[in-house]
């Protein structure tokens, strides 16, 4: 209120107008000074920050695209590895089946060979037994003939009787 009292009493008196003018001039000069010195640095800092943010966004987009590409490559590599593993397992399964088949076939062949050899041995032993029975029969026949004839049989008689007995046995067998 003292401002009103110092001058003519109105709000636009000369001293108030002078102060207002000096405030405006000081503000203008300060604005000009700030506009010429600080404003370019401030705009430059804002532009740099904007560029840095833009570059960071571009890098993030690039990194995201690169990560997606690497993820796709990784998925392809994993799928290829799975396919190779499946193929290897299938190959090993087929190989195992073939090996099992070969082992079974070999075992059957060996069993057949053992059976054939056993049959041969049985036939051989049977023939030996038949031969032994023939000899026994010949000896018994000779002993019986000697007893019936009442005399001892010499080697030539013995041989002739043995041959006849063997021939008779061969006829019975056939």
- pLDDT tens per residue across span 27-75: 999 999 988 998 899 889 999 999 999 999 999 999 999 999 999 999 9
Model confidence at 173, in pLDDT bands (50, 70, 90)? Answer: low
User: What pTM was estimated for this model as a whole?
Assistant: 0.41
* 113 within some domain: yes
Q: How many CB atoms lie within 10 A of CB 161?
A: 16
The domain in which residue 70 lies consists of 10-173
Counting the structural domains of the chain, the total is 1
pLDDT tens digits, residue range 103-158? 999 999 999 999 999 999 999 999 988 888 878 877 777 677 667 665 666 767 76
Q: Which of left, alpha, beta for 152 (phi over 0: left; psi -120 to 50: alpha)?
A: beta
Residue 2 belongs to some domain of the structure: no
């Amino acid at each position: 209120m003292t401002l009103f009292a110092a001058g003519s009493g109105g709000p636009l008196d000369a001293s108030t107008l002078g102060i207002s003018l000096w405030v405006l001039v000081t503000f203008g000069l300060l604005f000009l000074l700030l506009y010429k010195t600080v404003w370019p640095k401030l705009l430059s800092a804002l532009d740099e920050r904007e560029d840095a943010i833009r570059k960071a966004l571009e890098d993030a987009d690039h990194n995201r695209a690169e990560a997606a590409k690497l993820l796709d490559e990784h998925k392809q590599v994993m799928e290829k590895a799975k396919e190779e593993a499946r193929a290897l397992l299938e190959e090993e399964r087929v190989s195992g089946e073939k090996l099992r088949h070969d082992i079974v076939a070999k075992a059957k062949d060996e069993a057949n060979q053992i059976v054939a050899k056993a049959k041969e041995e049985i036939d051989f032993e049977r023939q030996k037994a038949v031969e032994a029975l023939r000899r026994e029969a010949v000896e018994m026949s000779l002993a019986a003939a000697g007893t019936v004839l009442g005399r001892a049989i010499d080697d030539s008689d013995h041989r002739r009787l043995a041959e006849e007995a063997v021939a008779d046995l061969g006829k019975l067998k056939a």
